[in-house]
Amino acid sequence: MKVITTNKKAHFNYFLESTFEAGIVLVGSEVKSIRLGHVSLVDAFVSVNPNGELYIKNMYIKPYEKATSFAPTNDRQPRKLLLNKSEIKKLGQKTREKSYTIVPTKIYLKGQFVKLEIALAKGKHTYDKKQVIKDKDIERDTKRTIKTYTQAQ
């Protein structure tokens, strides 16, 4: 399994509860572009259609340079996600509840297939985000002091 990209903002902005592995419906030139790492999940989100289909929206895939004229021109078009019917139903029920959303967390290669990991998430408040930053600062300072103490001896 080769991880292409991760969504670092998803871990900072949301409490991730459960993850799912989904396939993506792509064109051949999009797959080649993703294999080269020309993809971004920064502003991407997943929505459930009324007819029970999942779509990832606003995911950026850079157009492949060597592609023919038949390649899609819109680099942020919605792309269909492939999941089991029971998983889609579970995600649809949870998103109808209060403050749940579906967030893409990473794109990776599993064999020859491009897979997307999505997570059922709840949004964090600003005080939760501040606490995470505070904990990281404390951890970094303690590592720094331990490192300087061991180098001094």
Please write the tens of the pLDDT for every residue from 65-121. Answer: 777 766 566 778 889 999 999 999 888 888 887 778 899 999 999 988 999 999 998
Please write the tens of the pLDDT for every residue from 7-44. Answer: 888 888 888 888 999 999 988 888 888 898 889 888 88
User: Is the pTM here over 0.85, yes or no?
Assistant: no
In angstroms, the CA 145 to CA 22 distance is: 43
CATH number for the domain whose boundaries are 2-124: 2.40.280.10
Reply yes or no on whether the pLDDT at 55 is more than 80.
yes
